Structure 1
Amino acid sequence: MAEFDVPFTLDQLRIVRAISEYGSFRKAADKLFVSQPAVSLQVQSLERSLEVTLFDRGGRRVILTEAGKLLVDYSSRILNLSEEACRALVDLQDLKRGTLALGASQTVGTYMMPRLIAEFRQSYPQISVQLQVLSTRRIASGVAEGQFDLAIVGGTIPPQLKDQLDVSAYATDEFVLVRAHPDAVAAQFERSPLASSNLDIPTHLRKEELYELRFITLNPQSTTKKAIDSSLETYDINPAKFQVEMELTSLEAIKNAVKAGLGVAFLSLTAVAADLELGLLEQLHVEGLEVKRTLRLIYSPNRYQSQVAQSFRQHLQEASARAEAVHA
């Protein structure tokens, strides 16, 4: 093999990465919009060129061999760098076109980021925006690897990634205790004794009265739940002693369960502001209690920052300044 001959193509690397991600040749083919035989032929050709076996095809799910794991690691870096190069070239068009890859943790991605993106695209309508909503850990890893230009997250950033990221406080996320508004669920009272009992709760509570409520919460692995529990513990409140009626996996599911009168929940004010204003939910005030966390803006200073990404970061900072001025 000549010194500068490369025995693979970018398309082959994309195929290998997709098979690794989705665990099968068929699913990888579907995601890449090619036929399964074409994927198989490309992998066979690549394995012949490299003289290694990349996948163990014996079970239901395709498993990477050691050589496959090594190539996937390099594939991600090569493909991310290739995409960076494309974004840098697009920058020559002076913000008239381009793609912005954003990440966000659940609350931010569901309730805050869409509004921020809509505001940004009023000024730059030709910019294509891609948003992925994942756990803080996965988003932070994606930013470090160049999959995302920047992100806003609410959870704890893995310590091993902090040296690879620029992390700054962006906004404060306040959690409020809410129940179904009595007027909104009046039709359910006779059918649901549980809903009726939740409506007997006074709107102003002492801390010890929290243990008498029926809670709907996120699952224990959720970084949002961990942030809420940590904040409660600073007020000598033990969330492990709460009466948990249901554990759900999404904020929307929790909000809908609360609206149905099935329990109370701590939810982000960003997520429930419209429901409070419309009278669908009612806030319960706990004496002396403020449950808050800091949302963080992250990006990788080691990665190319396109003009589009820099402009969006400036937009975020201006939006944060406007929000602070309103609450001042």
Structure 2
Amino acid sequence: MAKVTLEQWRMLHAVVEHGGFAQAAEVLHKSQSTVSYAVNKLQQQLDVEILVIKGRKAELTEAGRVLIRRSQSLLKESEAIEKVADSLSQGWEGRITLGVDVIFPPKLLSTCLKRLSTECQQTHVELVETVLSGTTDMLATGQGDLVISGLVPQGFMGEPLMKVTFKAVAHKDHPLHQSGRPLSLDDLKQHRQIVIRDSGIKRQDAGWLEAVERWTVSHISTSVRMISEGLGFAWLPTSHIEKELESGLLKPLDLLPHGSRRHQIYLIYSDQDYAGPAVKALADIFKEVCAAPLDSQILTTDAV
């Protein structure tokens, strides 16, 4: 018995989806006789009645409904294979490694990756979230194709993307909010500071104010949770604590001369000359998204 082809299954699905041979033929840009022959041949090969004609409409038999349901996964897998082949023929990389410092706004990161998924669906992205020099270590060791970092290591060129705003914050009931006057750094040193650990080989203490007591965590989300429970104060990117600030759970500290600072974020290629089309497409997406007006980003982050 001759093997049933994918084209026959596609024609059968078109007949069922569009309600008849003539309609399917129009959608598939084939003659009605071609579609009719392919579907009839399919039924003969399987020795199963799949369709019955009622009036001018083709309807599935019980056996036909089973075969249509089972063949859907076959056609989807075939389409996926064709997309992979198309991506490879265009030179899209099968995999890229992206290093992103955790201070980068999570909403923007999701937006960028979502856009990439529509442009090169078959490229696998390995996202590595890092802190401080952990991102630049990826460049030094050749582990990242593209990184988003606040540090540009020697020997690399960084393209400014945006500036992230940090604020010194604490729980609304924290003693630091009870002084009734602007706070100095000496005031902060008397209270516990929550610091995020540098994930790099040579760890830095960026942001630490030499507080008497320091707790060190590995991720911003842990710091936010601890601060929200009144366990200390911290410098945090405002894009990560929007809800807490809006609800009043966290309040910015009244610092002298001010309780906020801005940090430049850069886009850095591991090797731009040898970057593939997917890496370049992702870099362009980051630049476009970060350059968008703030109201379209719906963030409390400051763009360049």
TM over 0.5: yes
Q: Which residue in 2 is equivalent to 1:307?
A: 277
Counterpart amino acid of 1:266? W
Aligned length: 211
The answer (yes or no) to whether the contact 1:101–1:148 under 8 Å persists in 2 is: yes
Equivalent of 2:244 in 262, 275, 278: 275
The 3 A distance-change label for structure 1 pair 227 and 141 is closer
Q: Which residue in 1 is equivalent to 2:104?
A: 108
Counterpart amino acid of 1:92? S
The 5 Å alignment of 1:112-191 reads 113-143=109-139, 146-154=142-150, 156-159=151-154, 162=155, 165-182=156-173
Structure with greater Cα Rg: 2
The 5 Å alignment of 1:43-58 reads none
The 3 A distance-change label for structure 1 pair 137 and 212 is closer
The answer (yes or no) to whether the contact 1:103–1:148 under 8 Å persists in 2 is: yes
Deviation at 1:313, TM superposition (A): 0.8
The answer (yes or no) to whether the contact 2:106–2:239 under 8 Å persists in 1 is: no
The 3 A distance-change label for structure 1 pair 302 and 116 is closer
Q: Structure 1: how far apart are the matches of 2:126 and 2:141?
A: 16
Alpha carbon RMSD of aligned pairs, Å? 3.6
Counterpart amino acid of 2:89? L
The 5 Å alignment of 1:245-260 reads 246-260=215-229
The 3 A distance-change label for structure 1 pair 117 and 99 is same
Deviation at 1:102, TM superposition (A): 0.6
Q: Structure 1: how far apart are the matches of 2:167 and 2:135?
A: 25
Equivalent of 1:293 in 249, 260, 263: 263
Deviation at 1:200, TM superposition (A): 2.8
Using the size of structure 1 for normalisation, the TM-score is 0.53
The answer (yes or no) to whether the contact 1:175–1:266 under 8 Å persists in 2 is: yes
The 3 A distance-change label for structure 1 pair 208 and 107 is closer
Using the size of structure 2 for normalisation, the TM-score is 0.56
Q: Structure 2: how far apart are the matches of 1:257 and 1:225?
A: 21
Greater displacement, 262-271 / 122-131: 122-131
Aligned to 2:241, the other structure's residue is in SS state helix
Question: Identity percentage over the alignment?
Answer: 18
Counterpart amino acid of 2:191? R
Deviation at 1:92, TM superposition (A): 2.8
Q: Structure 2: how far apart are the matches of 1:286 and 1:143?
A: 36
Deviation at 1:298, TM superposition (A): 0.7
Structure (1/2) with the larger helix percentage: 1
Aligned to 2:167, the other structure's residue is in SS state strand
Q: Which residues of structure 2 form unaligned runs of 5+?
A: 1-85, 297-301
Q: Which residues of structure 1 form unaligned runs of 5+?
A: 1-88, 183-194, 230-238
Q: Which residue in 1 is equivalent to 2:207?
A: 228
Q: Structure 2: how far apart are the matches of 1:312 and 1:278?
A: 34
The 3 A distance-change label for structure 1 pair 247 and 120 is same
Q: Structure 1: how far apart are the matches of 2:179 and 2:88?
A: 57
Deviation at 1:245, TM superposition (A): 5.0
Counterpart amino acid of 1:283? P
